[in-house]
Amino acid sequence: MNWDQIEGNWKQFKGKVKQQWGDLTDDELDVLSGKRDELAGRLQERYGWEKERAERELDSFVKSL
């Protein structure tokens, strides 16, 4: 699984992202449309993470799919 696949099938993966990071709203996820950089930025804002941590969390998420 790679991020291009997730972005292409965002509607299917949006629920899994919501399960992983429940503080993100449906509206936020709709606006993100699977864009990895924007999701990383939103995770930084919502959870107070540094950029590197947000990137690691996303990499771990993709590997788990």
> Which segments in the chain show pLDDT lower than 50?
none
User: Domain boundaries in the chain?
Assistant: 3-64
Indicate the SS3 state at residue 49.
Answer: coil
Architecture of domain 3-64: Orthogonal Bundle (1.10)
pLDDT of residue 39: 95
> How far apart are the C-alpha atoms of 22 and 14, rounded to whole Å?
11
Q: Which residues 6+ apart lie within 8 Å of 16 measured at CB?
A: 65
Q: Which residues 6+ apart lie within 8 Å of 23 measured at CB?
A: 46, 47
Q: State pLDDT tens for residues 12-28.
A: 899 999 999 999 999 99
Residue in this structure with the two tokens 């998420």, named with its chain if needed: 61
